[in-house]
A and B are shown apart, each in its own frame.
Chain A
Amino acid sequence: MAMLLVAGPAVAVVSGAAAPGFTITDTSGQAVRLSDYRGKYVVLEWTNPECPFVRKHYSSGNMQALQKEWGSRDVVWLAINSTNAGHSEFKTPREMSDWVQAQGAAPAATLLDSTSGTGRAYGAKTTPHMFVVDPAGKVVYAGAIDDKRSANPADARTAHNYVRAALTEATSGKPVSVASTTPYGCSIKY
């Protein structure tokens, strides 16, 4: 009988590992699959509008700028909210899309992982927690968004941005020099 081979265990997906597949509904009710974007670079941004660290990057315009800069270079940016449905910070699809619009953010899709399966599959711990996946489905960067571990919006502009660095190197064919860092932020509300 045919056996279903499953990809590697993913407690915390590290650089070099295969990115676990997922199917999540986005804020408009469409099912979005990671496999839909095979052949492109994909950035997974774990987010939570209520987290001060996420607000740091949005109020400073840092995250939106990154999304637009790379969105125009054919990188698929997926914002994922894994807050569980019973938590006080849970956002309905409407609230989430309103917030994305109000922030002027430009992700390709905003995904609501309210059963938290994908967050757990990736071992995502904080908001923000960033993963960059290459066109072959391999994770080339996993960890913090930048190197200033604070909630101060001013730091977002002066910090060294690991995601930008990883994408710049990967898209020009170079190996990613810093492939893994410790993420910082609020814990994901599983």
Chain B
Amino acid sequence: MIRPNPALVAAFRVLVAAAALSLAPGASAGPVKTEHVEAELVAAKTALVPGEPITVALRLAMEKGWHTYWRNPGDSGLPTTLAWKLPAGVEAGSIEWPVPRALPVGPLVNYGYEGEVLHLVELKPQRALTVGSSVVLAARAEWLVCKEVCIPEGADLSLTLPVENAAPLDPRWGAPIAAAQAALPQPLAGWRITAEGSAAAVALKLVPPAGAADPGAIRFFPFAPDRIEPSGPQRVTRDGDAYVLALPVAATLAGPLERIAGVVTAAGGFGAVHAATIDVALAGSVAAGPKAAPAAAPALNLAPAPMAGGDGLTLALAVVSALFGGLILNLMPCVFPVLTLKVLGFATHNDTRPTLRHEAGAFASGVVLTFVALGVALAALRAAGEELGWGFQLQSPAVVSALAILFFVLALNLSGVFEFGQLAPSGVTGWTSKNRTLDAFGSGILAVVVASPCTAPFMGAALGYAMTATTATMLVVFVALGVGMALPYVSLAWFPGWRRRLPRPGPWLERFKQVLAFPMYATVIWLAWVLGAQRDNDALLRLLVVLLCVGFALWAWRIVRTGGARPWGIAGFIALAGAATIAWPLFATEPPAPAKAAGGGAASEDRGWAAFTPATVAALTASGRPVFVDFTAAWCVTCQVNKRLVLNADDVRARFAEKRVALVRADWTRRDPAITQALSALGRNGVPVYVLYRPGKEPLLLPEVLQRSTMHEVLATL
């Protein structure tokens, strides 16, 4: 027999003692730090007791701003997983998930956790474990941690616990684990919960016991994906005592939905319980809801496919639309007076054809180039990330004020208060009469500036196409627009036969000019109204005073120029200086928070119209009603005409009511990125746009100029 070496035995004993000492109760291998998360396994008690369950937890502490996922991650992501490697004698249950939070990521919503989270697991040590031994609890934890980017991470964790007859609470983790356990979602006692499905929504009804306090904001988190749309709005309404939560069915629902199972959270808690588990059968049946999804963020997901702006319209069709649009633009109240006079101007000139042709060519170039410049400016701004559409220039009160002043000056000219020739120094008038071509070019630019508040039918679709196409295509469409607008003028210059039909000048011309001043004044009044809608009454007053001063200044200068006394001129200067001072705030300061209601939401015409948000439209369509959305702006003449003549007509309103159509108004008077995005999703970037969402059918995009008969036709299809 070999006698053990005493030295070896002693060394062995020392080793064992050292090992025993190093294994302090609840020794874990220490937290594992990955790039954004600190992970470790912690236990509620300091030791395992055979036969007694013990709660351990996977602790994940995320860096600020980063999150990990719940068992149902929502629109994207992966739930955290925990794979145990346990010795014989210990069994593990599954993760008991703490209450998740809804974490929006753009238009999508994830369900998960930020900060620190304890994923609780119950371990069952068997009776067969020997007291005095120690057990190594190992697990591989994997998770996806995201902020703006996503990183899959994992860690091998372990926790070593001794086996003893009794185990006190762990001093560090006992209390937090107990608190986490108390906060786990539990079934609601005393509340009666039912779920009923219809169309693409589930009505989850929570009936409280007598005397229950208001739970506050309620939200439902389904356990399984593809049942309820994570990014969908969950509207709470009251039905007597009960709280009814409208849950939008997921667009990707496959197969019948039989149960509603998940967690319901309440800001104020359900009595003693902060969050509850729910598992109820669904009465009724639902269909997958493409109409029901929408966005927490200002992005309209509820978009008819952009075929009108993308696929459906070919380049040829867009160009033709642009040509027609430009042509019709000549008839719009902004442009008509100015262009009519230019056209009549032909009659007063007995010029040779080449000169006229040059002039017409110059005018056309002015028009086309200005349109192209506007288009390029718009494209550049959009590329720079600005959410803009056609008419963007009119969303700025400064531009509206400037246009109002310009139109006023032109109107005064038409009224005969002054002549341009009288005002400008003689050198300038001589120059302009010599350089008629340049003058005509300038008129072209002026014509487009004057046309900008108005859009015409056909322009909308053409512009929508132009905005989504390549730069070259966009330029072609804008050129077509310019050509269309310049066409009448150019045709008259080129075809003398037509010119001969124009009436000969005479005393009637002066009278006619003065009459045409009135549509210009009307435009000024309208622009002033737009400014009032964009800002407030004070701004409106300012503008009117500025116009007064400008009018006086022009009148005063005419007197001086036609031989009147000097002091009038000084008075004119003072008036102008006063105008500039008063006008300054209109241009320099940013208006206060934009007033959404054009012309006042309390106006009787606006009653019955809900304000536009993507969530509102989604919720309304989810409820199965047809929805009519009116994209409008105060500065859009066509919109206002349609509104007053058609949308507010008694018979149309009656039909709306009869068909239970929900009315939504998107007011684009001021810049609104949400509305701009909604428009571009529809293949447009200007107003007016009218969309009718019909339950069970495709939505309809209506023409820009509405008629009562159109409305009746369209509503009859519901």
Interface residue from A18, A85, A115, A184 paired with B78 (Cβ < 8 Å): A184
Minimum CB–CB distance for A114 against chain B, Å: 9
Contact of A121 with B305 in the complex, beta carbons under 8 Å: yes
A182 touches B78 (CB 8 A): no
Among B149, B225, B250, B290, which residue has its beta carbon within 8 angstroms of that of A50? Answer: B149
Contacts A11-B292, A88-B148, A117-B681; A182 near B107 (Cβ below 8 A): no
Is A12 touching B290 in the complex (CB atoms < 8 A)?
yes
Contact in complex: A20, B225 (CB < 8 Å): no
The answer to whether B304 touches A6, judged by C-beta atoms less than 8 angstroms apart, is yes
Q: At the interface, yes or no: A169 with Cβ under 8 Å from chain B? A: no
- Within 8 Å CB of B682, what residues of A? 6
Interface residues of B in 259-311 (CB under 8 A from A): 288, 290-294, 297, 299-308, 310-311
Q: Is the CB of B293 within 8 A of A123?
A: yes
Interface members, chain A 1-15 (any B CB < 8 Å): 1-14
B-facing residues in A25-54 (Cβ within 8 Å):
25, 29-31, 33-35, 50-53
Say yes or no: B303 contacts A9, CB within 8 Å.
yes
CB atoms of B252 and A182 under 8 A apart? yes
Please name all residues of chain B whose beta carbon is closer than 8 Å to the beta carbon of A35 when the two chains form the complex: 311
Closest residue on chain A to residue B303 by CB atoms: A121
A21 pairs with B312, CB closer than 8 A: yes
Contact B680 A117 (CB under 8 A): yes
Which residues between 211 and 238 of chain B lie within 8 Å of chain A, taking CB atoms?
A: 225-226
Q: How many A residues face the partner with a CB closer than 8 A?
A: 61
B75 at interface, CB cutoff 8 A? yes
Instruction: Specify which of B105, B299, B310 lies most central, judged by the most chain A CB atoms within 10 Å of its CB.
Output: B310
Q: Are A31 and B311 in contact (CB under 8 A)?
A: no
Q: Collect the chain A residues with CB atoms within 8 Å of residue B707's CB.
A: 1
Please, which residues of chain A bring their CB within 8 A of the CB of B705? 1
B254 touches A9 (CB 8 A): no
Please measure, in the bound complex, the distance between the C-alpha atom of A10 and the C-alpha atom of B457, giving whole angstroms.
Answer: 27
B150 to chain A, nearest CB (A): 4
Known: A1-B710, A121-B305, A182-B226. A23 touches B310 (CB 8 A): yes
Are A20 and B307 neighbours in the complex by a CB distance under 8 Å? yes
Whether a CB of chain A sits under 8 angstroms from the CB of B497 is no
Bound CA–CA A143/B693 (angstroms): 26
Q: Is the CB of B305 within 8 A of A3?
A: no
Cα distance, A10 to B683, chains bound together (Å): 14
CB distance from B553 to the nearest CB of A (A): 46
* Chain A to chain B: the 3 pairs with minimum beta-carbon distance, closest first: A21-B311, A20-B305, A12-B251
Q: A5-B700, A9-B693, A117-B306 are in contact. List 19 more A-B contacts (CB 8 A).
A: A1-B707, A4-B308, A4-B703, A5-B701, A8-B305, A8-B698, A11-B302, A14-B252, A17-B290, A116-B299, A120-B107, A120-B299, A121-B306, A149-B78, A180-B252, A184-B78, A187-B105, A189-B148, A190-B299
Can you report 29 A-B residue pairs in the complex whose CB atoms are below 8 A from each other?
A1-B457, A1-B703, A3-B703, A4-B703, A5-B698, A5-B700, A6-B305, A9-B303, A10-B305, A12-B290, A14-B288, A14-B290, A20-B306, A21-B307, A29-B470, A31-B469, A31-B473, A52-B152, A84-B106, A115-B680, A117-B306, A120-B107, A123-B251, A125-B108, A182-B226, A183-B76, A186-B77, A187-B77, A189-B106
Q: Which residues of A contact B (CB under 8 A)?
A: 1-14, 17-18, 20-23, 25, 29-31, 33-35, 50-53, 84-89, 115-117, 120-121, 123, 125-126, 142-143, 149-152, 180, 182-190
